[in-house]
């Protein structure tokens, strides 16, 4: 008897499962017909293909799948069924033309750490409002006023590496640089004490971000949550002080504090804090990673480095031997250095892919993307597809010389409603750092490791250990006593 009822349950369960796709309706009122799921493998029960993805270079995993199944395929990763998209059209469909059918999706543990009100967790009216504020604080007419300060940050970082004679972890140092620029764009000139406290606690959040989420006290995850709470307190103090002084600033904090819509609605202090931590998070590793790659690519191609130097030295000379500050127009007129930046963004594809979740059943080219499934636009696969970029594994900035990439084939900063609002600042700070680096310093990569390390963003192995020294002096040798 028991066996019969178990069998009935199994049959019931299977029939619900089989009819699941046909029971649902698409949001725009179009019933989802008998569309089939995309091709692909769902792997083992529960674990899906998680082991296959994490036991090898993720890019090889995606590439092998793309070769086998084409531009759209399904899989099952970290407990979630997903559809992966490797064509410009499919990515545009999800991120731009049908963005309302997909929402951003992040693990709850990460939302808790950054703060649930950070704009990139949201969709719709709240996202649009916050995005406008973030975007205006990162618009050209605002960031152009930061140039002299960014130069100061870049020069002081370079002086410290160049003067130490030590081997530095390039990525780690670039993280400090991009953090300082992030702080500048959020707060303007922030009191040193506050900056140090933010730095100290943000570092703990950063270290715990990719750790296993657990309630066990003392773990990296729990430490990060505690540090995130402290960050909120520090931000509360900064906000209080700024309100007391009644300052109206053009930085991100100023934009967030001064916002009031026609109904009198403002941005709450929690929302302000979450978005400040969110922007720091979005800005730091991404920018540090691309600068580290540029240093590697230039180091590996001395002829290209010389050409970049010639371009930058001409600007340096026209600025009275570096005595006048760089201008916005000059940063917009560094064609070769800019192409090196674009090619590094393509090669490294810092954000290799992103995640969305279907909010309704969606049909794409005859395939069903069921509601609740994750959708992953694979930027790197597109950036490395020979159909769009010839000889894609060769670092060749000249590919950006004449013809612009085809639409939706070059998306280092994403696309659509969530595309990166910080892209101009990221480019500006990178160009400024490269200007001061190549006009006054030299660097040498230490060790012969090649390859990519994911943390989770791709960086050269061990963060590219390197020595820096001032152009006029020779490299400081390690002298054995
Ligand atoms: C080279 C450096 C950078 C790269 C490659 C990069 C890349 C990206 C990408 C691909 C996205 C879209 C993610 C998605 O659609 O899921 C994004 C979003 C975002 N980025 Fe960046 N980013 C960089 C630097 C920055 C900087 C410097 C800032 C701020 C100062 C910033 C702030 C943001 C924010 C706030 C979002 C979320 C936008 C939204 O959801 O509406 N990023 N970034």
pLDDT in tens, 354-382: 999 999 999 999 999 999 999 999 999 99
pLDDT at 29 exceeding the cut of 60: no
Residue 65 host element (H or E): helix 58-69
Residue 17 pLDDT greater than 60, yes or no: no
Give the integer Cα–Cα distance in Å for 177 and 354.
25
pLDDT band at 56 (very low <50, low <70, confident <90, very high): confident
In the prediction, which pLDDT does 32 show? 58
Tell me the pLDDT tens digit for each residue of 176-231. Answer: 999 999 999 999 999 999 999 999 999 999 999 888 888 899 999 999 999 999 99
| Cα 95 to middle of ligand 1, angstroms | 14
Q: Please report which confidence band the pLDDT of residue 448 belongs to, taking 50, 70 and 90 as the band edges.
A: confident
| Residue 442: predicted pLDDT | 95
Q: Which of 376, 384, 362 lies closest to 40 in space, CA to CA?
A: 376
Structure tokens at 41: 């493998």
Whether the predicted pLDDT of 299 surpasses 60: yes
Can you give the pLDDT at residue 9? Answer: 43
Q: What is the pLDDT of residue 24?
A: 45
Q: Whose CA is nearest to atom 9 of ligand 1?
A: 413
* 182 CA from centroid of ligand 1 (Å): 12
Homologous superfamily of 19-188+249-470 in CATH? Cytochrome P450 (1.10.630.10)
Over 60: is that where the pLDDT of 47 sits?
yes
**32-41, 322-331, 405-414: which range is least confident on average?**
32-41
Q: Rounded mean pLDDT of 449-476?
A: 83
Q: Inter-axis angle of helices 269-300 and 125-137, to 10 degrees?
A: 60
Q: In the predicted model, is pLDDT for residue 46 greater than 60?
A: yes
Q: How many angstroms does the Cα of residue 351 sit away from the middle of ligand 1?
A: 9
Nearest Cα residue to atom 18 of ligand 1: 420
Where exactly are the structural domains of the chain? 19-188+249-470
Instruction: Write down the H helix ranges in 165-251.
Output: 170-187, 192-208, 220-245
More confident residue, 128 or 79: 128
- Mutate which of 132, 286, 354, 456 for ligand 1? The one with the most ligand atoms within 8 Å of its CB, which is 286
pLDDT computed for residue 344 by the predictor: 98
Mean pLDDT for the stretch of residues 428-450: 94
Give tens-digit pLDDT for 307-339. Answer: 999 999 999 999 999 999 999 999 999 999 999
Beta pairing, strands 80-85 & 374-377: parallel
Query: Does residue 148 have a pLDDT over 70?
Result: yes
H helices of 220-348, in order, are 220-245, 252-258, 269-300, 302-318, 328-331, 335-348
Give the residue with greater pLDDT, 298 vs 449.
298
Mean per-residue pLDDT of the chain:
90
Closest residue (by CA) to atom 7 of ligand 1?
413
Least confident interval from 10-24, 357-371, 414-428: 10-24
């Amino acid at each position: 008897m028991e066996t019969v009822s178990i069998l009935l349950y199994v049959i019931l369960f299977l029939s619900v499962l089989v009819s699941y796709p046909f029971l649902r309706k698409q949001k725009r009122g179009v019933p989802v017909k008998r569309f089939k799921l995309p091709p692909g493998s769902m792997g083992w029960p529960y674990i899906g293909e998680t082991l296959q993805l994490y036991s090898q270079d993720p890019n090889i995993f995606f590439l092998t799948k793309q070769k086998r199944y084409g531009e759209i395929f399904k899989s099952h990763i970290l407990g979630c069924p997903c559809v992966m998209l490797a064509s410009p059209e499919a990515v545009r469909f999800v991120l731009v033309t049908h963005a309302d059918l997909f929402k951003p999706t992040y693990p709850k543990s990460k939302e808790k750490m950054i703060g649930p009100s950070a704009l990139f967790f949201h969709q719709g009216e709240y996202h649009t409002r916050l995005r406008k504020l973030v975007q205006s604080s990162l618009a050209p007419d605002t960031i152009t006023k930061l140039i002299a300060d960014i130069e100061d940050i870049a020069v002081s970082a370079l002086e410290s590496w160049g003067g130490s004679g030590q081997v530095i972890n390039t990525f780690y140092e670039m993280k400090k640089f991009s953090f300082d620029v992030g702080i500048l764009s959020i707060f303007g000139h922030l009191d040193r004490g506050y900056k140090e406290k933010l730095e100290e606690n943000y570092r703990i959040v950063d270290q715990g971000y990719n750790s296993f989420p657990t309630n066990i006290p003392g773990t990296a995850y729990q430490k990060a949550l505690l540090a995130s709470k402290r960050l909120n307190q520090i931000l509360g103090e900064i906000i209080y002080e700024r309100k007391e002084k009644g300052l109206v600033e053009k930085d991100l904090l100023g934009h967030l504090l001064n916002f009031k819509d026609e109904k009198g609605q403002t941005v709450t202090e929690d929302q302000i804090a979450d978005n400040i931590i969110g922007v720091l998070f979005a800005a730091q590793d991404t920018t540090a990673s691309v600068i580290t790659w540029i240093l590697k690519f230039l180091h590996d191609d001395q002829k290209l480095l010389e050409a970049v130097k010639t371009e930058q030295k001409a600007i340096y000379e026209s600025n009275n031997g570096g005595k006048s500050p760089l201008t916005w127009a000059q940063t917009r007129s560094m064609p070769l250095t800019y192409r090196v930046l674009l090619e590094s963004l393509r090669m490294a594809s810092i954000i290799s892919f992103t995640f969305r979740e279907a909010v309704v059943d969606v049909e794409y080219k005859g395939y069903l993307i069921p509601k609740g499934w994750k959708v992953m636009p694979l930027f790197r696969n597109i950036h490395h597809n020979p159909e769009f970029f010839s000889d894609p594994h060769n670092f060749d900035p000249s590919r950006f010389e004449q013809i612009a990439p085809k639409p939706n084939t070059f998306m280092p900063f994403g696309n659509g409603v969530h595309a990166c609002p910080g892209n101009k600042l990221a480019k500006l700070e990178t160009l400024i750092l490269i200007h001061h680096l190549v006009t006054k310093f030299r660097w040498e990569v230490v060790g012969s490791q090649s390859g990519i390390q994911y943390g989770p963003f791709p960086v050269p192995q061990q963060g590219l250990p390197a020595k820096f020294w001032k152009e006029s002096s020779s490299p400081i040798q390690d002298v054995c006593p």
